[in-house]
């Protein structure tokens, strides 16, 4: 038989449920009120504004250039911009390779920059302008005495210059730093011939198309020459094979009326067969017979 519950017995239970529902609504409204109040106070306070802009990776230009390009300003709301939009503004600069913009904490914006590498200088009206690995001549910066990259001379052919820039970008930084000057010296048989003057006194004759492949072995090549019984500064030819001739022999060879009798044959050098870290002391220096 079904038990009949008297309405008087149910009233306290209904009242308790109603009270709990009312309390939950009240707590939700109070919580929403304080959250809204906090947000209003936050957006009206200095804690929602940009207080610090950090720029990392700036080398070619000063940090202020990137801050200006971003359009961000001190005191601007942290929520008035989108990071991707700021990145697009900064990427419009020709020398910027990659950029990442992020918000840090409540009042800080970080801008991380990766610039295209500076691989050479070109002279225009006795002013040296950096050339970046993407081919851009960076005229926003100039110097009268470049010391951190080679100088390009007689490179009017833009295609050759672009090809050479790519080769230079593939060089080891230590090898790139050894180059003082690069001249375009094409011939009818070799339009890509170049001459490099090194900071340590050697002259290198090479081809643009194989420059990075061979010149990365430059320290090993020099070690072979200097490990020989007698040596002096001279010309290293890496166009076809790898040969060396001292300056004395080279100019004696050019000026002599009988070169076969009055000059020695160039040294035939071995390139390492493994990698750039091969032991150069084990390389042989052989003379052509």
Q: Which pLDDT score is estimated for 272?
A: 64
Q: How much is the average pLDDT of 176-180?
A: 93
- The correct CATH number of 47-115 out of 3.40.1080.10, 3.10.20.310, 3.40.50.720, 2.40.50.140 is 3.10.20.310
pLDDT of residue 7: 57
Mean pLDDT check: name the lowest of 112-121, 233-242, 262-271. Answer: 262-271
What architecture is the 118-287 domain classified under in CATH? 3-Layer(aba) Sandwich (3.40)
Least confident of 101-115, 127-141, 265-279: 265-279
Please state the rounded mean pLDDT for residues 4-20: 63
Query: Taking 80 as the threshold, does the pLDDT of residue 243 lie above it?
Result: yes
Residue 3 pLDDT > 70: no
**Higher per-residue confidence, 3 vs 78:** 78
On the question of pLDDT at 270 being above 80, the answer is no
pLDDT tens-digit map of 121-152 = 988 877 888 899 888 888 877 666 666 788 88
Give residue limits of the domains in the chain: 47-115, 118-287
Query: Range with the lowest mean pLDDT among 13-22, 151-160, 207-216, 280-289?
Result: 280-289
User: Where does the pLDDT of residue 6 fall: very low under 50, low under 70, confident under 90, or very high at 90 and above?
Assistant: low
Residue 286: predicted pLDDT: 33
Decide which of 146 and 48 is more confident: 48
The number of residues in the chain equals 289
Per-residue confidence at 23, pLDDT binned at 50, 70, 90?
confident
Of 96-110, 192-206, 217-231, minimum mean pLDDT range: 217-231
Q: SS3 for 143-201, per residue?
A: ECCCCCCCEEECCCCHHHHHHHHHHHHCCCHHHHCCEEEEEECCCCCCCCEEEEEECCC
Q: The tokens 């800080």 sit on which residue? A: 108
Q: Given this chain, do its domains 47-115 and 118-287 carry the same CATH topology?
A: no
């Amino acid at each position: 038989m079904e038990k009949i519950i008297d309405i008087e017995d149910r009233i306290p239970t209904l009242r308790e449920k109603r009270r709990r529902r009312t309390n939950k609504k009240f707590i939700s409204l109070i919580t929403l009120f304080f959250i809204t109040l906090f947000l209003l106070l936050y957006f009206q306070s200095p804690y929602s504004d940009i207080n610090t802009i950090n720029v990392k990776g700036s080398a070619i230009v000063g940090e202020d250039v990137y801050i200006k390009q971003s359009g961000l300003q001190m005191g601007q709301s942290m929520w008035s911009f989108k990071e991707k939009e700021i990145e697009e503004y900064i990427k419009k600069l020709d020398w910027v390779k990659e950029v990442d913009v992020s918000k840090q904490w409540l009042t800080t914006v970080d801008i991380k920059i990766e610039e295209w590498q500076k691989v050479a200088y070109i002279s225009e009206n006795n002013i040296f302008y950096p050339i970046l690995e993407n081919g851009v001549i960076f005229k926003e910066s100039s110097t009268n005495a470049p010391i951190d990259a080679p100088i390009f001379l007689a490179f009017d052919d833009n295609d050759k210059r672009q090809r050479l820039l790519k080769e230079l970008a593939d060089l080891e930084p230590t090898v790139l730093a050894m180059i003082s000057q690069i001249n375009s010296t094409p011939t009818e048989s070799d339009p890509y011939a170049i001459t490099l003057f090194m900071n340590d006194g050697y002259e290198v004759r090479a081809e643009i198309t194989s420059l990075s492949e061979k010149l990365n072995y430059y320290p090993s090549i020099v070690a072979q020459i200097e490990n020989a019984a007698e040596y002096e500064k001279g010309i290293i030819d890496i166009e076809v094979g790898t040969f060396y001739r001292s300056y004395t022999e080279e100019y004696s060879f050019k000026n002599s009326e009988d070169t076969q009798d009055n000059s020695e044959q160039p040294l035939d050098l071995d390139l390492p067969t493994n990698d750039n870290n091969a032991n150069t002391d084990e390389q042989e220096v052989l003379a052509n017979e």
